[in-house]
Amino acid sequence: MPTARVKPDWTVRLKAGSADPWTYFGGAIGIFDIFEFHGQFTRTDTIIAFPGFAYGATKDRSAGMRVVLIKENEFLPQISAGFYDAIGNGFLSSRYLTASKMFGNFDVTIGLGQGILAGEYTASGADSGELFLTSDPLRATSVFGGIEWHLTPDLTLSAEYSSIDRANMYGYRDGAGTILKHDDSTIPVNIGIKYKLTENLHATAAFLRGDTIAGSIDFEFPLKPENVLAWEKTKPFFPGEKLKWDAHAFNNERLSALISKQLNAQGFVNVSASCNDDSVWIEYENNLHLSDARSLGHVATICDQVLPKRITKFYLNIKDGITVIQSLKTSRSAFKSFMESNLDKEGFLTFSDLNLYKDENWKDFQRDSKPSKMIYEPDDRFSFSIAPKIRTFLNNKNGFFKHKGLLRARAGYRPWYGGDIFGELEYTLFNQFDEVDFFAQEKDNSVRTDLLDYESESKTRISMLALEQKINLPLSVQGRFAAGIFESAYAGFGAEVFRYFNDGLWGAGFKSELVRKRDPDNNFKLRDDPDKWYSTAFFNLYTQILPSQGIEAGLTIGRFLAGDPGFQIDLRRSFKYFTLGAWYTKTDTDIFNSPKNRGADQKGVYISIPFSIFKSNDKPRHFSYSIASFTNDTGAMVRQPGSLYPMSPWSTPNHTKRTLNDMRKY
């Protein structure tokens, strides 16, 4: 039964359990100490979903949330409201209002519940979840309650009165109301025990209503970038006396080459520098640290150790490709005072300027005295990696999970400044997509539902072979153009422009693609329909709604791949270098013929996890995973080699200012 408690902010719980006839796997996350969002997959063993197919027992996705209305204090209980399984089929839908109060080691809960919490049968048909959520608030309501006794910090005993009528639950009855399993329970009381096996791993056992034994395992952990392994400090840099003497003796151009080489030797890429009589201008990409502020501390410390005393001002610029996104102007003395904690963050920013794009600081640098030409330190032009990848087809008649396992080899080559050639080759390790029962939904406009044409075979496939050129346009607008093979199904052309505003708090841009279908059987051939081109055109808008808490939103409006006009809204939280988000796409589906496409929208959730949680350093790469709704041809897009439209706030002046103390931690 639900309580009024929510998970602490940015804490995740993963859970697996069983209580006949259900087996479930799910998770929950706390937001702001006020909200808890949860979801799970539930298998109901008494119901076969598709007789005659290999799917087996019914499996259903469900989601819900809980919100704290009043926080607990000395006199008042914590009061929360919530709902569960209020989308889709609504097999186990409920709404509730609940209050919890601690009395010593006892946590007492009492609540009012509707839906299955009031003994109702809610599995009445398609979309019954949405209908339930918006139904009469005065519908049948029952009281429930419970008590938890925290006997020790690791051991908790519980007892609760259950208002659920199991005979009216999906699993005891099917979708038509037919009785499948009799309820032999004797008392409406559940008792349980919970034990902390470790700080993060908890085991629970329960005896439900006098006749059913249940159990579950919970894994709880906070989302923070330094997790499994403690980060090691960056290896200190100690310039030799010869290096210091050379720096003192060199003219501005040779000094620019020297500092560029030293920064590149420390691991930074895309490094360039220019010196004048009292200042240095540095440009680089932050490929070493999660935190841009930490990279600024790293670069500035090397400059302070190497450059002669006549260099009294640092201009440090963080690039994305060929574009400077953040530009820090600071005096050498202010930097040293900040690093020695003689200046706090606010004081440092008083004596420094951290700007969006380079224009303003570049003008200041050029005014000081005539600078040397920009010296570029050469990088390795070639890159290569191999990584495993798994594609999943969810909820098909022939199996709930069908997988395709791949080894993906990725290579990149930079032939000139701003230009990149990207290649991907996928080798199939195993393939269950040939077992999937799924067909294209449109005769001429199947832009995504013909995926089995490309995925059911196990041939080695080129999934990308494209040239991308980035350019800097007037007014600090970023530009990108691409041509080639973009994904297994499409090849063609793509272009995008984007610009940040107001320290990166918001931005806007345009994006478009013109593509054709590839031949499924030939890596270097297009389908034999030369007149069939697909085009997209989008306006993108990005904003940080609540920057201090990482709340962001994105809006895409325009023409999607099948020609259906509409929008996609993206709401996410990017906090402590993790991102958790959801998207919803709605388009005009009148152009489609299939009833599965008409009226269909697209939605999904995703998470991005920093690799640093598994490493002993703060490397900036992320692993991303998403779960989408059923495959349709509506609201489709084409993958590109790169994107200017942002998916996180990490590389903006606003975020760097808020995390500026990381400069001291490199």
CATH number for the domain harbouring residue 163:
2.40.160.40
CA angle 32, 37, 41 (to 5 degrees): 155
**In the listed set 319, 354, 379, which residue is the last one of a domain according to the structure?**
379
Residue 58, pLDDT > 60, answer: yes
Cα 239 from Cα 226, distance rounded (Å):
30
Cα 510 from Cα 479, distance rounded (Å):
10
Per-residue pLDDT, 529: 85
Per-residue pLDDT, 619: 85
pLDDT confidence band for 187 (50 / 70 / 90): very high
Per-residue pLDDT, 628: 85
pLDDT confidence band for 640 (50 / 70 / 90): very high
Beta-bridge partner residues of 666: none
By three-state DSSP, how is residue 330 classified? Answer: strand
158 located within any domain: yes
* Residue 490 sits in the same domain as residue 429: yes
395 located within any domain: yes
Can you read off the two tokens belonging to residue 529?
A: 């329909």
* Residue 368 sits in the same domain as residue 390: no
* Residue 246 sits in the same domain as residue 366: yes
pLDDT tens, 450-477?
999 999 999 999 999 999 999 999 999 9
Do residues 568 and 553 touch, judged by C-beta distance below 8 A?
no
* Residue 386 sits in the same domain as residue 460: yes
Domain span including residue 52 = 11-222
229 located within any domain: no
CATH number for the domain harbouring residue 392: 2.40.160
Residue 657, pLDDT > 80, answer: yes
Residue 338, pLDDT > 70, answer: yes
Q: What is the pTM of this model?
A: 0.90
Half-sphere exposure of 256 (CA within 13 A, CB side): 23
**Backbone φ, ψ for residue 262 (5° rounding):** -65, -40
What is the distance in angstroms between the CA of the first residue and the CA of the last residue of the chain? 47
545 located within any domain: yes
* Residue 371 sits in the same domain as residue 397: no
Q: Which helix (H) or strand (E) holds 552?
A: strand 551-559
Using a 10 angstrom Cβ sphere, with 0-12 exposed, 13-18 middle and 19 or more buried, the burial of residue 483 is middle
Can you read off the two tokens belonging to residue 319?
A: 């690039």
By percentage, how much of the chain surpasses pLDDT 70? 99
pLDDT confidence band for 88 (50 / 70 / 90): low
Per-residue pLDDT, 666: 76
> 621-625 — which CB contacts under 8 Å span 24+ positions?
622/577, 622/579
Query: Span 576-585, mean pLDDT?
Result: 95
Q: Which residue has the tokens 């399984």?
A: 85
pLDDT confidence band for 303 (50 / 70 / 90): very high
CA angle 1, 176, 94 (to 5 degrees): 20
Query: Span 332-351, mean pLDDT?
Result: 96
- Residue-averaged pLDDT of the chain: 94
Per-residue pLDDT, 368: 73
Cα 31 from Cα 12, distance rounded (Å):
10
Q: Which residue has the tokens 């953040």?
A: 326
Cα 277 from Cα 282, distance rounded (Å):
15
364 located within any domain: yes
Q: What is the DSSP string of 323-352?
A: EEEEEEEEEHHHHHHHHTTSS-HHHHHHS-
315 located within any domain: yes
Cα 581 from Cα 314, distance rounded (Å):
38
Q: Amino acid identity of 497?
A: V
* Residue 191 sits in the same domain as residue 68: yes
Per-residue pLDDT, 228: 66
Per-residue pLDDT, 208: 96
Q: Amino acid identity of 617?
A: N
Q: What share of the chain is helix, strand, coil (3-state, %, to 5)?
A: 15, 45, 40
Residue 611, pLDDT > 60, answer: yes
* Residue 284 sits in the same domain as residue 419: no
By percentage, how much of the chain surpasses pLDDT 90? 83
* Residue 205 sits in the same domain as residue 296: no
Q: Amino acid identity of 541?
A: L
* Residue 186 sits in the same domain as residue 248: no
The conformation of residue 435, written as its DSSP 8-state character, comes to G
Q: Which residue has the tokens 């006009």?
A: 565
Can you read off the two tokens belonging to residue 323?
A: 């574009």
CA angle 262, 265, 271 (to 5 degrees): 70
* Residue 433 sits in the same domain as residue 553: yes
Do residues 173 and 121 touch, judged by C-beta distance below 8 A?
yes
Cα 56 from Cα 48, distance rounded (Å):
6
230 located within any domain: no
**Rg of the Cα atoms in the chain:** 29
176 located within any domain: yes
Residue 378, pLDDT > 70, answer: yes
| Contact residues for 586 (Cβ-Cβ < 8 A; gap 6+) | 566, 567, 568, 601, 635
Query: Span 256-271, mean pLDDT?
Result: 96
Per-residue pLDDT, 125: 60
Per-residue pLDDT, 90: 83
* Residue 200 sits in the same domain as residue 302: no
Mapped to the 3 state alphabet, what secondary structure does 208-219 carry? ECCCEEEEEEEE
In the chain, the number of structural domains is: 3
Higher pLDDT: 177 or 569? It is 569
pLDDT tens, 148-167?
999 999 999 999 999 999 99
Per-residue pLDDT, 367: 86
Cα 417 from Cα 264, distance rounded (Å):
17
Higher pLDDT: 612 or 629? It is 612
* Residue 398 sits in the same domain as residue 372: no
**In the listed set 328, 345, 379, which residue is the last one of a domain according to the structure?**
379
**In the listed set 379, 410, 439, which residue is the last one of a domain according to the structure?**
379
Alpha helices in 89-159 (DSSP H): 128-133
By three-state DSSP, how is residue 485 classified? Answer: strand
Query: Span 483-492, mean pLDDT?
Result: 98
